[in-house]
Structure 1
Amino acid sequence: MPKAMQNLAFSDVRREDRDEVYFRVKGFGPDARDLPLLIVNISPHGMMSRCDAPLDIGDRIRITLPIVGVVTSEVRWSLGGRIGCQFETAIDLASYYELLAIMVRD
Structure 2
Amino acid sequence: MSVGAQLTVTDMRRAARHPVDFPVIAEHHQHGDMNMHISNLSAHGFMVDDAHDIARGDRVIIRLPIVGRIEAYAIWTRDHRAGFQFERIVRLDDFLQIIDSLQPNPRLRKTR
Query: Which bracket does the TM-score occupy, shorter chain normalised?
Result: 0.7 to 0.9
Deviations 1:13-53 (A, max 9, x none): 52412111111112111326111111111111011012343
Residues in 1 aligned to 2:31 and 2:67: alpha-carbon distance in whole angstroms: 20
**Aligned-residue offset at 1:11:** 5.8
Residues in 2 aligned to 1:103 and 1:80: alpha-carbon distance in whole angstroms: 25
**Aligned-residue offset at 1:94:** 0.9
Partner of residue 57, structure 1: 56
Structure 1 pair 100/28, CA: closer, same or farther in 2 (3 Å)? Answer: same
Query: Mind listing any 5+ residue stretches in structure 1 that lack a counterpart?
Result: 1-9
Deviating runs (4+, > 3 A) in structure 1?
10-13
Question: Is 1:93 equivalent to 2:89 in the alignment?
Answer: no
Residues in 2 aligned to 1:52 and 1:75: alpha-carbon distance in whole angstroms: 10
Look at both structures and tell me which one has the larger radius of gyration over its CA atoms: 2
* Aligned alpha-carbon RMSD (Å): 2.0
Structure 1 pair 91/50, CA: closer, same or farther in 2 (3 Å)? Answer: same
Deviations 1:59-91 (A, max 9, x none): 111111111111100101112211100000121
Q: Which has the higher contact order (CA 8 A, sep 6+)?
A: 1
**Aligned-residue offset at 1:104:** 0.6
